[in-house]
Amino acid sequence: MRPHHALPVLLIPLLAGCQPAATPAGTSVAHLEAPATPQLPAPAPAAPAIARVDLGNRVGSDQRVPVPMLHFAPDDTIHAAVLHTGHSPTLQRIDARWSHLDSKQTFLTEGKNLPFNGDAATTFQISRPNGWPTGNYKVEILLNGKLVQTRLFDVVLPATATAAPR
């Protein structure tokens, strides 16, 4: 017999010794497994918040301003698209407070009670049939009575009304 053929036969008993030990009688395999990892509670939903406010002279069907602006013409309708996030089991109040800074007058406050079920948008708008006086304005956005965002804008003669830089 040639020695190189005997080598595999000699390794078989050694490999048999590498097998895992048999489970002792009366002990189940499940008992030997690692304990289960405890389940962590699901993360709490995000609290209601105002993510962004965009101003523009038109709004899309998705309630968003396609071209944000800071400068408006006197005959523009001015839209504030309020993008809100978070979740709440109750309605949340969003108010828009529009002011003319040059005269220090708030000329319109309006609000909406809305559900917060993830990302969404709502709009507020102002218009004036005989045109807005040129000057500086602001809109303040309040969530449940607390001021959360302010946007400054102006009304200028039509030759200078332009889109906001991105």
Give me the pLDDT at residue 14, please. 46
| Res. 41 pLDDT band, cuts 50 70 90 | confident
Please tell me the total count of domains within the chain. Answer: 1
| Res. 9 pLDDT band, cuts 50 70 90 | very low
pLDDT score of 20 more than 70 = no
Residue numbers of the domain that contains 139: 49-153
pLDDT score of 24 more than 80 = no
Q: Is residue 160 part of a domain?
A: no
Question: How do 146-155 and 49-56 pair as beta strands?
Answer: unpaired
Please report where in the chains the tokens 């800074």 appear, as a residue.
Answer: 101
Give me the pLDDT at residue 125, please. 97
Q: Contact at 8 Å (CB) between 79 and 59?
A: yes
Structure tokens at 90: 């109750």
CATH of the domain at 147: 2.60.40.10
pLDDT score of 10 more than 50 = no
H/E segment holding residue 156: none
